[in-house]
């Protein structure tokens, strides 16, 4: 996994995570999926890898650190902030290629024998990452690794083979005694029970759902890093190691005035190949 560019990894049995599914359904019943209709579909598959791949036996989970010089470093008055994960090549593309290389390295030449899961395939990646020993699920609802912090993206490979050894779940909770992210979140979107009120989350509103109703994005135009920027576990974590996550956009080149005038056609061209184009494809 490290040779293809992952920074942390682990392996979990392909079992149904019924407890995590119950918590997810409770969150959905409370209106958690605000505008994210895809979350209400394929719930069984999300927590049961055997429904994603016939004969699934193991789930290999990988994490890559993407922290860069814009992760939590914007000046307070900068009015066009972009979440730092979005500044490099779309991680869906990068992680899919990396996981394909892992599959090939394991001898799965036929892509139909495995399932690559990167967001677009429903899999509860954070729950599997915790079971794979990668980290704990923080109050900001993100996976936090003791070395890499939370500026990470996750991908998983479901395979039809048993592994010799499986990882030990990450059981410590590095959030005990801290609540900085709850205080820092500009919109109060983080609930005390470690779930996010997606209706209030700037990340959801600037990427997925839009802001046609009055909604203050607090200077963010795409995503939001506030609940990561303040996290003590991100203070000394290393910058990205994998060159695929090197920023190709310099967000401070574009201020709020620029964004206000940007047309969807211009945006698609300018940010081609990064996650940011998603914003313009919806317009
Ligand atoms: S991404 Fe921003 S708005 Fe959403 S929970 Fe984190 S700090 Fe709050
Ligand atoms: S800021 Fe504190 S409470 Fe929030 S995720 Fe980080 S460690 Fe946990």
Structure tokens at 102: 């892992």
Helix (H, G, I), strand (E, B) or coil at 39: helix
Establish how many alpha carbons lie within 13 A of residue 48's alpha carbon, considering only the half-sphere containing its beta carbon.
13
In the chain, the percentage of residues whose pLDDT exceeds 90 is: 78
Give the mean pLDDT of 191-205: 90
Strand partners, 63: 8, 154
Which one of 81, 144, 185 would you pick to mutate in the ligand 1 pocket, going by the greatest count of ligand atoms within 8 A of its CB?
185
Q: What is the pLDDT of residues 97-110, one digit of tens each?
A: 999 999 999 999 99
Chain Cα centroid distance, residue 274: 14
CA atoms of 203 and 85, how far apart (whole Å): 12
Q: What is the pLDDT of residues 223-251, one digit of tens each?
A: 999 999 999 999 999 999 999 999 999 99
Structure tokens at 260: 């206000």
CA atoms of 274 and 258, how far apart (whole Å): 18
Q: Output the pLDDT for position 193.
A: 85
Give the mean pLDDT of 247-266: 96
Q: Which of 223, 208, 243, 207 is nearest to 97 (CA)?
A: 243
Q: Output the pLDDT for position 210.
A: 64
Whether residue 114 has pLDDT greater than 80: yes
* Cβ of residue 185 lying under 6 Å from some atom of ligand 1: yes
CA atoms of 226 and 180, how far apart (whole Å): 10
Structure tokens at 104: 């090939």
Helix (H, G, I), strand (E, B) or coil at 100: helix
CA atoms of 118 and 157, how far apart (whole Å): 9
Residue 138 Cα, ligand 2 centroid: separation in angstroms? 6
pLDDT band for position 219 (50/70/90)? very high
Structure tokens at 166: 């499986």
Location of structure tokens 């939590």: 72
Which of ligand 2's atoms lies nearest the C-alpha of 180? 1
Whether residue 141 has pLDDT greater than 80: yes
List all residues 6 or more positions away from 110 whose beta carbon is below 8 Å from its beta carbon. none
Give the mean pLDDT of 39-45: 85
- Nearest-Å Rg of the Cα atoms of the chain is 19
Residue 201 Cα, ligand 2 centroid: separation in angstroms? 16
Structure tokens at 204: 């959801």
């Amino acid at each position: 996994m490290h040779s293809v560019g992952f920074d942390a990894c682990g392996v979990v049995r392909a079992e149904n995570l019924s407890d995590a599914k119950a918590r997810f359904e409770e969150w959905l019943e409370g209106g958690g999926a605000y505008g994210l209709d895809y979350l209400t579909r394929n719930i069984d598959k999300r927590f049961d890898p055997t429904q994603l791949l016939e004969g699934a036996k193991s789930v290999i989970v990988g994490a890559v650190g993407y922290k860069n010089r814009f992760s939590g470093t914007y000046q307070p008055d900068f009015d066009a902030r972009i979440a730092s994960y979005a500044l490099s090549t779309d991680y869906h593309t990068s992680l899919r290629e990396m996981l394909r290389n892992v599959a090939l390295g394991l001898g799965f030449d036929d892509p139909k024998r495995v399932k690559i899961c990167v967001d677009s395939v429903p899999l509860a990646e954070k729950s599997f990452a915790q079971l794979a020993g990668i980290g704990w699920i923080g109050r900001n609802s993100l996976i936090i690794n003791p070395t890499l912090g939370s500026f990470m993206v996750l991908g998983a490979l479901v395979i039809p083979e048993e592994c010799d050894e499986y990882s030990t779940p990450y059981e410590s909770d590095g959030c005990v005694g801290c609540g900085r992210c709850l205080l820092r979140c500009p919109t109060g979107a983080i609930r005390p029970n470690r779930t996010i009120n997606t209706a209030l989350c700037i990340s959801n509103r600037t990427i997925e759902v839009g802001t046609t109703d009055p909604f203050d994005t607090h200077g963010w135009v795409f995503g939001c890093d506030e609940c990561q920027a303040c996290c003590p576990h991100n203070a000394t974590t290393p910058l990205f190691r994998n060159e695929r996550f090197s920023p190709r956009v310099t967000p401070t080149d574009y201020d709020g005035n620029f964004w206000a005038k940007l047309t969807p056609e211009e945006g698609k061209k300018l940010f081609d190949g990064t996650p940011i184009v998603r914003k313009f494809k919806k317009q």
